[in-house]
Amino acid sequence: MNSKRCGSQSVIFPTNPKILSTATIVGDVEGQGPIGKHFDLVLEDDTWGEDSWEKAERKMFEHSVRLACNKCNIAPESLDCMLGGDILNQLISANFAARAIKAPFLGLYGACSTMVEAMLIGAMLIDGEYASTVSATACSHFSTAERQYRSPLELGGQRPPTAQRTVTGAGTAILVSDEYQHNNESTHELFNNIVISAGTIGKVIDLGVKDANNLGAAMAPAAADTIQVHLNDFNKTVDDFDLIVTGDLGSLGSELLNELCKEKNIDLKDKHIDCGNTIFSKDQNVDCGGSGCGCCAVTFCGYLIKRLEAGDINNILFVATGVLLSPDTTLQGDTIPSIAHAVVIERRVS
Contact residues: a copy of itself, CB under 8 A: 1-5, 9, 11, 52, 54-55, 80-81, 85, 87-92, 95-96, 98-99, 102-111, 117, 120-121, 124-125, 127-132, 177, 179-180, 183, 201-206, 324-329, 332, 334, 337, 339, 341
Cβ atoms of 248 and 291 within 8 Å: the answer is yes
Least Å from the CB of residue 34 to a copy of itself? 31
CB of 342 to a copy of itself, least distance (A): 11
* Phi-psi category of residue 121: left, alpha or beta, with phi > 0 → left and psi -120 to 50 → alpha: alpha
C-beta of 171 vs 202, nearer to a copy of itself? 202
CA dihedral 145, 146, 147, 149 (to 10 degrees): 70
CB-facing half-sphere around the CA of 190: CA atoms within 13 A = 22
Cβ-based nearer residue to a copy of itself, 316 or 339 = 339
Give the C-alpha separation, 136 to 115, whole Å: 7
Distance between alpha carbon 63 and the CA centroid of its chain, in Å?
17
Q: How far is the CB of 320 from a copy of itself (least distance, A)?
A: 13
39 Cβ neighbours under 8 A, 6+ residues apart? 24, 25, 26, 30, 31, 169, 298, 302
Minimum distance, C-beta of residue 14 to a copy of itself, in the bound complex (Å): 10
State how far the alpha carbon of 98 is from the alpha carbons of 34, 58, 120, 175, 214, in Å.
31, 9, 19, 17, 32
Q: Are 98 and 64 in contact (CB under 8 A)?
A: no
Nearer of residues 32 and 89 to a copy of itself, judged by Cβ = 89
Nearer to a copy of itself, 31 or 294 (CB): 294
b (16+ CB within 10 A) / e for 80-115: bbbbbbbbbeebbbbbbbbeebebebbbbbbbbbbb
Query: Residue 5 CB, nearest distance to a copy of itself (Å)?
Result: 6
Shortest Å distance, C-beta 31 to a copy of itself:
27
Using the minimum distance from each CB to a copy of itself, give the nearer residue, 106 or 313. 106
Can you tell me the distance from the alpha carbon of 148 to that of 151, in angstroms, rounded to the nearest whole number?
Answer: 7
Residue 206 or 255: the one with the smaller Cβ distance to a copy of itself is 206
**Residue 243 or 293 having the CB closest to a copy of itself:** 293
CB of 63 to a copy of itself, least distance (A): 16
Give 245 or 293: the residue with its C-beta nearer to a copy of itself: 293
In angstroms, the Cα distances linking 73 to 17, 109, 148, 247 are 18, 28, 36, 29
Q: What is the nearest approach in angstroms of a copy of itself to the Cβ of residue 1?
A: 6
In whole angstroms, what is the distance from residue 213 CA to residue 298 CA? 23
Nearer to a copy of itself, 34 or 107 (CB): 107
Phi-psi category of residue 57: left, alpha or beta, with phi > 0 → left and psi -120 to 50 → alpha: alpha
Report the distance separating Cα 45 and Cα 342, nearest Å: 33
Shortest separation between residue 336's beta carbon and a copy of itself, angstroms:
10
3-state secondary structure of 254: helix
